Chains A and B, each alone.
Chain A
Amino acid sequence: MALFPLQAVFDGDLVVLLVPVDDTDPMTVVADKVAHHVVGHRVAAQDRPLRVRHDGRTLPGDATAVSAGMRPLDVVEVGYVP
């Protein structure tokens, strides 16, 4: 387990955030960690699941930053499933 800093863009938000996650966090947890700073703060909550995109593709919920081939400070885009 190691700290893994990411740049996070939440759909509809204002700013690119620094979000430290753990390199063993599944994407479901990564999504929640990003949403924690945005949803209900600047973007209204929706009753839909979240997803994480990296390099233009949606990652499986059980993928980790390492298994997805991410590097520290890679950009992830998080948002509600359409």
Chain B
Amino acid sequence: MPRLARSEWYDLTRDMNWTLSYVKEEEAWPAELSDGFGLPAEAWWAWDEPYKVTYPEYVHNQYGKDASVYAVNAVVGRSRMYERLDPGWKSAILAHYGVIAVPEYLASLGESRMGRFGRAAAWRNMATFGALDELRHGQIQTYFPYGLLPQEPRADWAHKALHTNEWGVIAARSLFDDMFTANDAVSMAVQLTFTFETGFTNLQFLGMAADAMKVGDVDFGALISSIQTDEARHSQQGEPTIGLLVEHGRADVAQRLVDHMFWRSWRLFALLTGLSMDYYTPLEHRGRSFAEFMREWICKQFLDQFRDFGLEKPWYWDEHFLPELDWYHHALQLGIWYWRPTVWWNPDAGVAPEEREWLERKYPGWNDTFGGYWDVVAANLRAGRPEATLPETFPMICHLCHIPVVAPAGYLAGRLASPRPYVLDRNGRRYVFCSAPCRWVFEQAPRRFQGHTTLIDRFLGGQVQPPTMEGALAYMGLSPEETGQDATGYAWAHAAPHGRTGPRD
């Protein structure tokens, strides 16, 4: 049977749109599954992305990627590589697996929704590959930690985490449900593929892969590199979607969707990547700081893309977002370390004397603000009072991002006008927000968010029994063996100041 050249069939099979006659447009693309934002149906047919691939090419490429990365895993699995890794790095990858592995599977549901409800055939074609990508990412990121189980029981949380009510998981689930599990196809293309993947994870995965290789974790490095190549392709769905919205007079929609999801993505990104880069990665392997990475890569790339589309930077950019680069993740770091029993990984304090010098160099003033908290904590540890470094109550949690409210730290750092949370009374219920942008996102679509309950709501509502810290840990799915401990056994608190050889006073 003669074979046609690719160029003779590709465009026809990739992009075959047709006018509906048996059903109405709103029946084929219901707004809750695919909001066209008023663009004529045929306007979407101009949707075009630059990263074109056929199914045989896709299968060939993916087979090669899987063969390569599973081969690395098989070799590394027979070595003692994992046990030789730095404890902080282990924490970083265990946190990553718990938050990311199963949501990758959920992302395949989102991609599948675009594969059916995308408003152009070319888009549906690309999204189908995206669904296959995310299935692979879900499988590979549960398989690799599965192989670690004999050495690392906490790797079980790669699969377990998203099925629990652990607080960080609630935050991640809320974000990802908003972004893709419960999002319509058009909004998802703007919020998942453009804002989150193009804006954050593409660059993050490149950086993490390089860091993994530097610390000697070739297993994780190979895994992340392999995933990133898929992300680079399927994240291309966002730009043509925004381009069409702007071209047809709906720049307001694109702007609102991006502003909404950039902020939410930033919140989780600061928690995961901020801690990983500035505290969990071994000092000798740290390059740029998290704030430098954000400014040089995320911010610059994102602003360039905004300008390309004629969009404005988000309204909160200068007043709220940029100032947070210097304090927000430092506050989360101390909070997560202090409330360490509530996470499934072992938080690395990352504040030994030489690490504090690095932090002060990268974040001038760090010692005067965050260093002061750690001084009190370290003094308790050196005095043999570890119980004084453990929590007896809970932080308030934001009703939008579901992350603890650390505004007082921003106030102490001179970056916020007030340490108080934002409170909103609505329909007889009191909502608490960590920041003005979180309140703004909520107020854009209150019916979408008003039913969510934070861990504090559940605690006060009697769902957490007994209503104690132990009861809360059980509610979050954390057995005593799984609760987070200090990653280095408090070695940092007893380390001699830089330049001295004896122990600290």
Supposing A40-B376, A41-B380 touch, asked if A17 and B388 sit within 8 A by C-beta, the answer is no
Q: Is B353 an interface residue (CB 8 A)?
A: no
**Interchain CB contact (< 8 A) of A77 among B376, B393, B420:** B420
Interface contact A7-B421, CB-CB below 8 Å:
yes
Interface contact A18-B395, CB-CB below 8 Å:
yes
**Interchain CB contact (< 8 A) of B373 among A17, A42, A75:** A42
Q: What chain A residues lie within 8 Å of B392 (beta carbons)?
A: 36-37
Q: How many A-B residue pairs have CB under 8 A?
A: 86
Give the CA-CA distance A5 to B454 in the complex, in Å.
15
Interface contact B393-A37, CB-CB below 8 Å:
yes
Q: What chain B residues lie within 8 Å of A19 (beta carbons)?
A: 393
Give the CA-CA distance A3 to B412 in the complex, in Å.
30
Query: Which chain A residues in 55-75 approach chain B with CB under 8 Å?
Result: 71-73, 75
Query: Which chain A residues in 22-75 approach chain B with CB under 8 Å?
Result: 36-37, 40-44, 71-73, 75
Query: Please, which residue of chain A has its CB at the minimum distance from the CB of B392?
Result: A37
**Interchain CB contact (< 8 A) of A75 among B331, B375, B380, B421:** B421
Interface contact A18-B405, CB-CB below 8 Å:
no
Q: What chain A residues lie within 8 Å of B376 (beta carbons)?
A: 40-44
By size class, the interface of chain B is 20 to 34
Q: What chain B residues lie within 8 Å of A71 (beta carbons)?
A: 430
**Interchain CB contact (< 8 A) of B388 among A20, A40, A73:** A40
Interface contact A9-B377, CB-CB below 8 Å:
no
Q: What chain B residues lie within 8 Å of A15 (beta carbons)?
A: 331, 335, 395-396, 404-406, 408-409
Q: Is B419 an interface residue (CB 8 A)?
A: yes
Closest Cβ of chain A to B28, distance in Å, is 46
12 further A-B pairs in the complex, CB-CB below 8 A; given A14-B335, A20-B393, A41-B389 = A7-B421, A9-B419, A15-B408, A16-B419, A18-B456, A37-B393, A40-B380, A41-B376, A41-B377, A42-B373, A73-B423, A75-B423
Can you list 26 A-B contacts (CB < 8 A)?
A9-B408, A10-B408, A12-B372, A14-B334, A14-B406, A14-B408, A14-B412, A15-B335, A15-B396, A15-B404, A16-B396, A16-B406, A16-B407, A18-B396, A37-B391, A37-B393, A41-B380, A41-B389, A42-B334, A42-B373, A71-B430, A73-B423, A73-B430, A75-B421, A75-B423, A77-B419
